């Protein structure tokens, strides 16, 4: 009997490793002493200038597409741990591409590992808070409930509140735990829920450990300054830097849990290295929420641009009113976010200042969304 070699290094594959979250997982995995390989297609909408300079030279870079079986076969050879971050994300009008990249791409990953009997030890998936229908709320009289997607007719009347299902009173958001019903109503959410379900059922069937991490809104250095469809902080900053007001939907009181990207990367390393996470689904966030209108004012203030947000009275069907991640499940494994919103914004703004001229792509994107009725106006009946 021969002993296993003592010095076999762990090899991690990070899909989407050129992107915001993936690239920070790459850094964390390299710092952890792992060999790292990246599979990334360099989606042009995200990477208008090609391979970003933050992908370390020392990392093996496989330019390929998660929709291509051959690319998975190349990328998965010799891999111990997979962090599957590559995805098509945001409020783009496409339907088929979300399903193709996210659901089909994940299916190919899982099928390739199983059919080739690859010795992968764990698969960690980037899921999203978007898989929830809505956040959790508390009625002053009837207590806690999980919200339902607000009907379009309600939003069209300019009523954006979440109402108690028993008495109809407007109710305040409270932290949302992982038991909240899945069922986000936009195509992105459906595709993320597909990815998660495929992973969990595959893990049970194959016995290979899996972990799904439901990230809340992630921000920080390396968030694409080109993609006008994703990243509220990035979108608001690119508007302000072009002396244009951030466009805030609804009444600006809708809120999100904004988590700094390095904290998300730390959560990934934690679940990759702790067996107690295996088979689990975890929220990753801060447990705090910021109102989007306040965020727009805060960014204007930090950038020294006295430009108030523009509230055109529009909304996006299927969006949540509020989501605060209840992070106690991951906290029980030792997770605690380390970077506050304020410090994270400072670090993001310091980074964006190094990115040269910042273009404004949002206005054209918005026209595209409005034309396809992915953005609607309250009171306009359309």
Ligand X SMILES: NC(=O)c1ccc[n+]([C@@H]2O[C@H](COP(=O)([O-])OP(=O)(O)OC[C@H]3O[C@@H](n4cnc5c(N)ncnc54)[C@H](O)[C@@H]3O)[C@@H](O)[C@H]2O)c1
- Name beta bridge partners: 125: 84, 212
- Compute, in degrees rounded to 10, the torsion defined by CA atoms 128, 271, 176, 336: -120
Contact yes or no for 303/358 (Cβ under 8 A): no
Q: Examine residue 256 and tell whether it contacts ligand X (CB under 6 A).
A: no
Asked if residue 130 lies in contact with residue 186, where contact means CB atoms within 8 angstroms, the answer is: yes
Footprint of Zn ion on 147-166 (CB under 5 A)? 164, 166
Query: Of 214 and 305, which has the nearer Cβ to ligand X?
Result: 214
Choosing from 55, 66, 225, 247, the residue that interacts with ligand X (CB under 6 A) is 66
Phi/psi of residue 3, nearest 5 degrees? -75, 150
Does the footprint of ligand X cover residue 22 (CB under 6 A)?
Answer: yes
What's the DSSP call for residue 48? T
Task: Write out the two tokens for 323.
Answer: 């989501």
CA–CA distance, 59 with 124 (Å, rounded to integer): 19
Q: Map residue 112 onto helix, strand or coil.
A: helix
For position 88 contacting ligand X by CB under 6 A, the verdict is yes
Q: Can you say whether the dihedral through the CA atoms of 348, 286, 102, 145 is positive or negative?
A: negative
Q: Figure out which of the listed residues 46, 149, 176, 238 binds ligand X, where binding follows CB under 6 A.
A: 46
Single residue of 86, 139, 162, 187 touching ligand X by CB under 6 A:
86
Bridge-partner residues for 120, per DSSP?
none
Which of 160, 188, 215, 249 is an active site residue? 188
Question: What CA–CA distance (Å, rounded) separates 124 from 211?
Answer: 5
**Contact letters for Zn ion, residues 131-150 (x by CB under 5 A):** --------x-xx--------
> Shortest distance, CB of residue 165 to ligand X, whole angstroms?
27
- Judged by CB under 6 A, how many residues of this single chain contact ligand X? 28
- Smallest gap from Cβ 163 to ligand X, in A, equals 27
Among 13, 14, 42, 330, indicate the residue that binds ligand X (CB under 6 A).
Answer: 42
The answer to whether residues 176 and 183 touch, using CB atoms and an 8 Å cutoff, is no
* Least Cβ distance, residue 133 to ligand X (angstroms): 16
Q: Which is nearer to Zn ion, 161 or 311 (CB)?
A: 161
- Take residue 191 and report the two structure tokens written for it: 């595709």
Q: What are the strands of the beta sheet with 290-291, ordered from one edge?
A: 290-291, 255-256, 322-323
Partner interacting with residue 167 (select from Zn ion, ligand X, none; CB below 5-8 Å by kind): Zn ion
Burial class (CB in 10 A: 0-12, 13-18, 19+), 177: middle
18 interacts with, out of Zn ion, ligand X, none, CB within 5 to 8 A per kind: ligand X
231: left (phi over 0), alpha (psi -120 to 50) or beta: left
Which of 57, 79, 108, 98 lies closest to 230 in space, CA to CA? 98
Judged by CB under 6 A, the chain residues 113 through 152 that form the site for ligand X are: 126, 128
Mind giving me the DSSP string for 72-112?
HHHHHTT-SEEEE-----SS-S-SHHHIIIIIIHHHHHHHH
Q: Does 20 bind ligand X (CB under 6 A)?
A: yes
Interface residue with ligand X, options 27, 43, 257, 319 (CB under 6 A): 43
Asked if 87 interacts with ligand X (CB under 6 A), we say yes
- The length of the chain, given as a count of residues: 382
Under the binding rule (CB under 5 A), the answer on residue 172 touching Zn ion is no
Question: Token pair for residue 76?
Answer: 């998965």
239 binds, among ligand X, Zn ion, none (CB under 5 to 8 A by kind): none
Q: Residue 164: which of Zn ion, ligand X, none does it interact with, CB under 5 to 8 A by kind?
A: Zn ion
Stretch in the footprint of ligand X (CB under 6 A) among 172-180, 197-205, 210-218, 234-242: 210-218
Is 137 designated active site?
no
283 in contact with ligand X (CB under 6 A): no
- Taking CB within 5 to 8 Å according to partner kind, which of Zn ion, ligand X, none is near residue 141? Zn ion
Q: Which residues of the chain form contacts with Zn ion (CB under 5 A)?
A: 139, 141-142, 164, 166-167, 169
Q: Which residues of the chain form contacts with ligand X (CB under 6 A)?
A: 16, 18-22, 40-43, 46-47, 65-67, 85-89, 101, 126, 128, 192, 215, 217-218, 224
Residues classed as catalytic? 188
């Amino acid at each position: 009997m021969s002993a296993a070699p003592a010095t076999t290094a762990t090899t991690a594959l990070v899909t989407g490793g050129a992107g915001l979250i993936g690239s920070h997982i790459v850094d964390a995995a390299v710092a952890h002493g792992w060999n790292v390989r990246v599979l990334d297609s360099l989606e042009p909408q995200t990477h208008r200038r090609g391979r970003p300079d933050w992908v370390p030279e020392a990392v093996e870079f496989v330019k390929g597409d998660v929709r291509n079986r051959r690319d998975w076969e190349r990328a998965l050879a010799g891999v111990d741990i997979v962090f599957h971050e590559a995805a098509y994300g945001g409020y783009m009008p496409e339907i088929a591409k979300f399903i193709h990249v996210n659901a089909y791409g994940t299916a190919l990953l899982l099928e390739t590992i199983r059919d080739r009997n690859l010795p992968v030890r764990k698969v960690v998936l980037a899921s999203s808070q978007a898989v929830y229908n809505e956040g959790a709320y508390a009625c002053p009289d009837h207590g806690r409930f999980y919200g339902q997607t607000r009907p379009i007719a309600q939003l069209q009347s300019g009523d954006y509140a979440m109402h108690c299902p028993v008495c109809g009173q407007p109710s305040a958001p409270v932290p949302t735990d992982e038991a909240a019903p899945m069922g986000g109503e936009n195509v992105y959410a459906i595709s993320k829920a597909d990815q998660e379900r495929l992973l969990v059922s595959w893990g049970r069937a194959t016995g290979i450990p899996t972990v799904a991490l439901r990230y809340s809104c992630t921000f920080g250095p390396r968030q694409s300054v080109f993609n006008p469809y994703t990243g509220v902080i990035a979108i608001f900053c690119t508007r302000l830097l072009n002396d244009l007001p951030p466009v805030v939907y609804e009444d600006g009181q809708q809120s999100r849990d904004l988590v700094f990207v390095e904290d998300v990367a730390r959560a990934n390393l934690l679940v990759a290295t702790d067996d107690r996470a295996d088979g689990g689904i975890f929220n990753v966030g801060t447990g705090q929420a910021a109102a989007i209108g306040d965020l727009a004012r805060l960014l204007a203030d930090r950038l020294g641009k006295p430009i108030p947000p523009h509230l055109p009275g529009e909304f996006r069907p299927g969006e949540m009113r509020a989501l605060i991640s209840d992070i106690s499940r991951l906290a029980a494994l030792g997770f605690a976010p380390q970077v506050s919103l304020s410090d994270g914004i400072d670090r993001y703004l310091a980074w964006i200042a190094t990115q040269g001229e910042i273009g404004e792509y949002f206005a054209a994107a918005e026209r595209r969304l409005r034309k396809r009725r992915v953005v609607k106006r309250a009171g306009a009946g359309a």
